[in-house]
Amino acid sequence: MPDEIDEPHIGIREYHALEDSHAHDYHQILLPLRGTLGMETGGREGLAGGNAGVVIPRSATHRFWCEDKSQFLVIDLPAESLEIPKKSQSGFFSLSPALQHLTRFAELAVRENRYEDIRPLIIPLVTQVLKSDGFARDHQMVAQLSAACALIDRHFAEPLSYEVIADKSGLSVSRLISLFKRWMNCTPADYLSAVRLKEARQLLQASGHSIAEISHRCGFSEQSALTRAFKRQFGITPAAFRKTMETR
């Protein structure tokens, strides 16, 4: 997008493995579709994705990063089109059921190029975002969740129980589970498994380690545990996956 825009725009954007920082002279709202995107704006850092969106006011320098592919429904709004309430400038918010429904409908309209249906959705979407309760409270929850995710990302190779993750993130176990369910639409165990499998897949592609060694490096109790989880997630065993990589 250019630095300035004359009219609202809504579209789907993909973010691949990257880290970048910039600012633009228009407001921007990111609504999650697939994956997650790390974001720092206004001196606050969090994770957009799952059930968490983010508002970026005009001229706000924001840093963003992701390790894999993610997709967001992005609304760009001319600076003069609305005033972002102060409560909303804290950035992160959770999607209400109404906003989730509108987001899914808008995604379908964009993918099918039904432009006559897209433009009328912009105002209802923005209205629902700005009606979101407690941006400041939501930011605190996003910060807590981000701390738990960062812990898992760093220590996935270690035995990590819910109690350990919660304790090191300054949360109760029930709070930990609640945050993941609300913001990520998954359990902490699901997230941990996804991180381990992603690392295992990368090692199968790019290293000469044995599958047993990869299992150990990725935090699986034994090779068979990796094999079961890998096949359940990707529909293929680690050994078969490695062979397909070797033939390319």
CB 22 within 8 A of CB 61: yes
Residues 64-89: what's their mean pLDDT?
77
Residues 48-73: tens digit of each pLDDT: 888 888 888 888 888 888 877 889 99
pLDDT for 13 equals 92
At residue 25, does pLDDT exceed 80?
Answer: yes
CB 33 within 8 A of CB 39: no
Question: Mapping DSSP to helix (H, G, I), strand (E, B) and coil, where does residue 179 land?
Answer: helix
Give the residue among 146, 195, 197, 169 at the shortest CA–CA distance from 37. Answer: 146
Residues 192-227: tens digit of each pLDDT: 998 899 899 989 988 889 999 999 999 999 999 999
Domains and CATH numbers, the chain: 9-133 (2.60.120.280), 139-246 (1.10.10.60)
- H or E, element range at 87: none
Alpha helices (H) in the chain, listed in sequence order: 97-111, 115-131, 135-155, 162-168, 173-184, 188-206, 211-217, 223-234, 238-246
pTM of the model: 0.59
